[in-house]
């Protein structure tokens, strides 16, 4: 049996990935399951892959176990790929200011719409991206998933009650008729960037599991 740590304290995310990445001989646990505190690494990378790598390496070395970490966010083509790695704190240029999640989401969305003012629909293309990295203790595998769409025009978005963050602004390709926040959760999960990265990582796990240390 190989035990793999998922680098998050969120039990819902651990359960979601545990289901997506199920393979005989692998057991997935969260940081909280290990029963001791860990030092959280500074995510100083300029790409999703760099930040996922920082987390995977840091927790693999602290736990002594293979570690799977991910980083994700929104890329908007007309903004040169912004918000990118600061997607969750775009309104404050990546700084943590103690705002609630709801306040931060609203401010992030307002900034995004403001910066896209006057840009026509065809040039508002965007994608959610997720990068997963497995370290054991060095990088063993990477996987990427993307969820394509575009940012709606003010007055037509925000729409929808599911999801969070930029979901109410994000019109899903190829029809651009529904926002990500209007999709039922099961449909969204099947299409999402995290789901795509998990499928790609599952293939990588098939490839490398014999190289994982037993635990």
Q: Judge whether residue 215 has pLDDT over 80.
A: no
CATH number among 3.90.950.10, 3.40.50.1100, 3.30.1330.10, 3.40.50.920, domain 2-211 = 3.90.950.10
pLDDT the model gives residue 1: 82
pLDDT in tens, 110-150: 999 999 999 999 999 999 999 999 999 999 999 999 999 99
The catalytic residues are: 71
Sequence ranges of the domains in the chain: 2-211
d(CA 10, CA 127): 24
pLDDT the model gives residue 172: 97
pLDDT the model gives residue 183: 94
pLDDT the model gives residue 97: 86
> 77 burial class (0-12, 13-18, 19+ CB within 10 angstroms)?
middle
> 160 burial class (0-12, 13-18, 19+ CB within 10 angstroms)?
middle
pLDDT in tens, 41-95: 999 999 999 999 999 999 999 999 999 999 999 999 999 999 999 999 999 999 9
pLDDT in tens, 159-202: 999 888 999 999 999 999 999 999 998 898 889 999 999 999 99
């Amino acid at each position: 049996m190989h035990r793999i740590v998922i680098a998050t304290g969120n039990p819902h995310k651990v359960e979601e990935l545990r289901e997506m990445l199920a393979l005989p001989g692998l057991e997935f646990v969260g940081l909280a399951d290990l029963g001791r505190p860990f030092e959280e690494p500074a995510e100083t990378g300029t790409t999703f892959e760099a930040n996922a790598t920082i987390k995977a390496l840091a927790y693999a070395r602290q736990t002594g176990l293979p570690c799977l970490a991910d980083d994700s966010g929104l890329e908007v083509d007309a903004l040169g790929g912004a918000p990118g790695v600061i997607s969750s704190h775009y309104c404050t240029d990546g700084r943590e200011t103690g705002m609630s999640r709801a306040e931060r989401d609203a401010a992030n969305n307002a900034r995004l719409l403001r910066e896209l003012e006057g840009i026509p629909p065809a040039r508002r293309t965007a994608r959610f991206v997720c990068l997963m990295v497995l370290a054991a203790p060095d990088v063993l595998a990477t996987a990427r998933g993307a969820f394509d769409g575009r940012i709606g025009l003010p007055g037509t978005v925000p729409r929808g009650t599911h999801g969070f963050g930029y979901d109410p602004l994000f019109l899903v390709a190829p029809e651009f008729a529904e926002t990500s926040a209007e999709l039922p959760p099961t449909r969204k999960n099947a299409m999402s960037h995290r789901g795509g990265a998990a499928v790609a990582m599952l293939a990588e796990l098939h490839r490398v599991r014999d190289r994982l240390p037993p635990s």
